[in-house]
């Protein structure tokens, strides 16, 4: 009985404990967790709201002129850029690059870099302050006052001010150099009676994927961020437009210094904090997959408390323009910007690509034309690899003569093993070994050319120095495909066919030069291989036609130099007389069989 009573008491005790435990979790712990979750979400929303403060509804579809008219403006006028700054929100949102045209046509307009908020392709820089509990803090709809200056130009800064009406005055001094760097010096003076808390932020905002984006796997276009991986160590990460639109490759981390932007093949817009500022940065799509809104930027990790009567100041930069290598190197050095030169996408083989760029740039200074510089580069590459290539071509020449001299023996091998390709190959290789020739010797010059070809391709694709550089006659842009196509009668008709149909003069020359080169090479034994080699020049002609004209010029020149070298070697190694007739060799082979 006592045992039964003890068991009942134990059961009641366990049930009571379970009720208390679940009650505590449901009525006390769960509400606390939910409250904490909401607080965290609110904090995150507050943080992101400041970074997204410059975003406008995607439903606004204003023309450029209509968008410009939405705000009073301050003109920007320098030798490199022209445009304006919106006093509403103090947005840098209207910028043209005066040194660069959209196309090579004489009446082509200047390149448009930034476009005002409210347009379908809005692209602008928004910088301000996160101050959630501050009444009348400046936001994207706040109109600043032009306090001094009239036009932002080199050596002539402008000063913008904003007064929140509660004792807080914001002053922003903007200055610009002769290229593409804008300096923002901000001051916040607290003339009130209470301390205020705020955190500076800056972001680049872009609506949609630009129409001119190449989607080329070898050239990065999209967001780029350089930030601290470890104290004092910086890394650079990239996120392509398409990946961000799909919700991939988003970035978010803490950093000290660095820089954050949106870059295309030739242009970049980036926000650059004080390099000693501890900040949090984000790279993401704030829209959806169909209508993406790309943002990249930073906000100070630690809010600043400004006491009554105090003035707080900070300085940051905005880069908006083209990416010449020398200029990026200069900014990296003068402003101590980590890895700023990496805004140019040299690729994982930059140790090959960049030296080619430096050599090509030096040759350009010598000859004054990038087309001639490419020709000189081709000759230099040929001379550099001459010993290696000469040995290979010498072996190929011997191979061709051996094939001519031993053709009867090769035919006999085919007849000995008509249905056994493996034995045919074994017997042929044994014959080549006896003659001390290497049938694969011709592959070496091709393998040597691969890194050279890749290096030149990257230089032509990513460097603004090569953009719209003319050569001779109809070739007005070495970084673009040959405009003289077969379908437009080589430029006589004002019509540009699709890239896959655009067989131009350079593509034809490439096909002919490859055909001549293959004719000089030893021919394969197998008939199927012969057919493949016979078609290869014309297949490559179609494949290479859409590539940059400068790349085809390099390849054509290299092919003709190779043809000349091989022709000279053939004269050095004349064809030996055939020692026996085909019938004698064949009969001898039959006896051995």
DSSP state letters, 519-543: HHSPPPSSHHHHHHHHHHHHHHHHH
| Cβ atoms of 404 and 523 closer than 8 Å | no
**Token representation of residue 161:** 């001010």
Mean of per-residue pLDDT scores for the chain: 81
Q: Does residue 282 have a pLDDT over 70? A: yes
Q: What is the mean pLDDT of residues 35-56?
A: 43
At residue 178, the pLDDT reads 96
- In sequence order, the β-bridge partners of residue 148 are 159
Q: What is the percentage of the chain residues whose pLDDT exceeds 70? A: 75
How far apart CA 326 and CA 344 sit, in angstroms, is 11
Residue 207, pLDDT above cutoff 50: yes
List, in order of start, the domains of the chain with CATH numbers. 64-345 (2.70.98.90), 354-572 (no CATH)
Per-residue pLDDT tens over the stretch 456-473: 888 888 889 989 999 988
Q: Which helix (H) or strand (E) holds 253?
A: strand 251-256
| pLDDT score for 161 | 97
Query: Which tens digits make up the pLDDT trace of 209-258?
Result: 988 777 666 788 999 999 998 888 999 999 999 999 998 999 999 999 99
What pLDDT is attached to residue 30?
A: 57
Pick 490 or 456 by higher pLDDT.
Answer: 456
Least confident of 187-191, 297-301, 356-360, 418-422: 418-422
Indicate if the pLDDT at residue 8 is higher than 60: no
pLDDT of residue 431: 73
Q: What is the DSSP string of 346-363?
A: --TTHHHHHHHHHHHHHH
Look at 423 and 575; give whichever has higher pLDDT.
423
Q: What is the pLDDT of residue 436?
A: 65
The answer to which of 85-94, 197-206, 546-555 has the lowest mean pLDDT is 546-555
| pLDDT tens per residue across span 57-85 | 455 688 999 999 999 999 999 999 999 99
The whole-number pLDDT of residue 365 equals 93
CA angle 181, 208, 242 (to 5 degrees): 100
Look at the chain and count its residues. Answer: 593
Task: Tell me the average pLDDT across 190-194.
Answer: 88
What number is the average pLDDT over the span 384-405? 70
Q: Label residue 27 by pLDDT band (50, 70, 90).
A: low
Q: Which residues of 228-248 are buried (b: 16+ CB within 10 A; e: fewer)?
A: beeeeebebebbbbbebbeee
Q: From residue 100, give the alpha-carbon distance in Å to each of 103, 168, 420.
A: 9, 42, 64
Q: For residue 534, give Cα distances in angstroms to 292, 414, 530, 537.
A: 48, 21, 6, 7
Burial environment of residue 221 by CB neighbours within 10 A (0 to 12, 13 to 18, 19 or more): buried
Q: Rounded distance, CA 391 to CA 408, Å? A: 27
DSSP lists the bridge partners of residue 253 as 281
Q: pLDDT value at position 10?
A: 46
Name the residue with tokens 């010059």: 445
Burial zone of 592 (CB within 10 Å; 0-12 exposed, 13-18 middle, 19+ buried):
exposed
> Facing residues of 322 across strands?
267
Beta bridge partners of 117: 119
In a 3-state reduction of DSSP, which class is residue 260?
Answer: strand
pLDDT of 204: 96
pTM surpassing 0.75? yes
Q: What are phi and psi of 404, to 5 degrees?
A: -65, -45
Q: In this predicted structure, what is the pLDDT of residue 38?
A: 44
pLDDT for 566: 76
Region 154-160: what's the mean pLDDT? 96
406 versus 408: the higher-pLDDT residue is 408
pLDDT, position 137: 82
Task: Give mean pLDDT, residues 27-43.
Answer: 48
In the chain, the percentage of residues whose pLDDT exceeds 90 is 41
Q: 306-310, long-range: CB within 8 Å, 24+ apart, which pairs?
A: 306/188, 306/190, 306/195, 306/196, 306/197, 306/198, 307/190, 307/195, 308/167, 308/190, 308/191, 308/192, 308/193, 308/194, 308/195, 309/190, 309/191, 310/189, 310/190
Q: What pLDDT is stored for residue 563 in this prediction? A: 86
Give the pLDDT band of residue 486 (cuts 50, 70, 90). Answer: low
Confidence at residue 592, expressed as pLDDT on a 0 to 100 scale: 45
Secondary structure class of 506 (helix, strand, coil): helix
Residue 501 has pLDDT above 50, yes or no: yes
Spatial contact of 321 and 267, defined as CB atoms under 8 Å apart: yes
- The tens digit of pLDDT for each residue in 559-568 reads 898 888 877 7
The set of residues, in sequence order, having a beta carbon less than 8 Å from that of 402 and lying 6+ positions away, is 432, 435, 437
Is residue 431 a contact partner of residue 409, using CB atoms and an 8 Å limit?
A: yes
From 19-28, 66-75, 279-288, the region with the lowest mean pLDDT: 19-28
For 436-520, where are the alpha helices, taking DSSP H only? 443-462, 505-520
pLDDT at 375 over 80: yes
Q: Which pLDDT does position 492 carry in this prediction? A: 58
Beta bridge partners of 312: 188
Paired with 159 in beta bridges are 148, 173
- Give the per-residue pLDDT at 99: 95
Q: Mean pLDDT check: name the lowest of 53-67, 116-130, 217-231, 422-436.
A: 53-67
Instruction: Measure Cα distances from 491 to 41, 488, 494, 503 in Å.
Output: 61, 6, 7, 12
pLDDT confidence of residue 5: 46
Q: How far is CA 209 from CA 216, 244, 309, 402, in A?
A: 14, 10, 46, 59
């Amino acid at each position: 009985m006592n045992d039964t009573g003890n068991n009942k008491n134990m059961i009641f005790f366990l049930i009571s404990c379970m009720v208390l435990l679940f009650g505590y979790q449901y009525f006390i712990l769960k509400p606390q967790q939910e409250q904490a979750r909401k607080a965290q979400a609110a904090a995150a929303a507050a943080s992101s709201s400041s970074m997204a403060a410059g975003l406008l509804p995607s439903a606004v579809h204003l023309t450029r002129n209509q968008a410009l008219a939405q705000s009073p403006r301050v003109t920007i006028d320098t030798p490199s850029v022209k445009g304006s700054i919106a006093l509403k929100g103090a947005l840098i949102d209207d910028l043209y690059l005066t040194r660069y045209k959209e196309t090579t046509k004489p009446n082509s307009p200047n390149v448009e870099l930034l476009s005002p908020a409210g347009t379908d392709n809005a692209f602008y820089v928004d910088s301000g302050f996160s101050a959630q509990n501050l009444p009348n803090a400046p936001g994207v709809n706040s109109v600043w006052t032009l306090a001094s200056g009239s036009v932002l130009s080199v050596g002539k800064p402008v000063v913008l001010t904003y007064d929140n009406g509660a004792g807080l005055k914001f002053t922003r001094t903007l200055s610009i150099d002769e290229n593409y760097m804008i300096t923002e010096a901000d001051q916040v003076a607290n003339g009130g009676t209470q301390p205020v808390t705020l955190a500076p932020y800056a972001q680049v905002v872009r609506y949609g994927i630009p129409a001119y984006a190449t989607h080329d796997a070898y050239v990065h276009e999209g967001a780029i961020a350089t930030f601290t991986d470890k104290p004092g160590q910086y890394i650079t990460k990239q996120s392509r437009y398409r990946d961000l639109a799909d919700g991939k490759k988003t970035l978010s981390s803490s950093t000290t210094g660095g820089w954050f932007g949106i870059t295309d093949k030739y242009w970049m817009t980036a926000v650059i904090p004080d390099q000693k500022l501890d900040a949090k940065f984000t790279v993401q799509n704030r829209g959806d997959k169909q209508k993406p809104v790309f943002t990249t930027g930073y906000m100070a990790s630690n809010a600043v408390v400004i006491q009554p009567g105090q003035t707080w100041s900070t300085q940051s930069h905005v880069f908006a323009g083209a990416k010449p290598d020398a200029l990026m190197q200069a900014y990296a050095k003068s402003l101590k910007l980590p890895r700023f030169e990496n805004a140019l996408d040299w690729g994982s083989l930059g140790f090959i690509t960049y030296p080619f760029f430096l050599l090509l740039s030096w040759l350009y200074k010598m000859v004054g034309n990038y087309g001639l510089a490419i020709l000189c580069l081709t000759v230099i590459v040929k001379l550099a690899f001459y010993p290696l290539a000469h040995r290979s071509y010498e072996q190929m020449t011997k191979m061709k003569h051996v094939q001519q001299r031993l053709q009867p023996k090769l035919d006999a091998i085919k007849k000995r093993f008509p249905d056994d390709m493996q034995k045919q190959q074994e017997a042929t290789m044994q014959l080549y070994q006896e003659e001390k020739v290497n049938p694969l010797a011709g592959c070496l010059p091709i393998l040597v050319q691969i890194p050279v070809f890749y290096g030149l391709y990257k230089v032509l694709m990513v460097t603004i120095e090569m953009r719209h550089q003319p050569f001779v006659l109809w070739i007005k842009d070495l970084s673009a495909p040959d405009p003289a196509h077969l379908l437009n009668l080589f430029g006589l008709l004002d019509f540009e066919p699709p890239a896959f149909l655009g067989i131009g003069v350079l593509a034809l020359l490439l096909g002919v030069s490859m055909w001549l080169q293959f004719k000089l090479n030893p021919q394969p034994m197998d008939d199927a291989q012969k057919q493949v080699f016979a078609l290869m020049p014309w297949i490559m002609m179609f494949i290479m036609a859409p590539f940059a004209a400068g790349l085809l010029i390099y390849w054509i020149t290299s092919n003709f130099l190779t043809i000349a070298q091989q022709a000279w070697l053939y004269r050095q190694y004349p064809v030996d007389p055939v020692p026996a007739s085909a019938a004698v060799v064949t009969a001898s082979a039959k006896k051995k069989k």
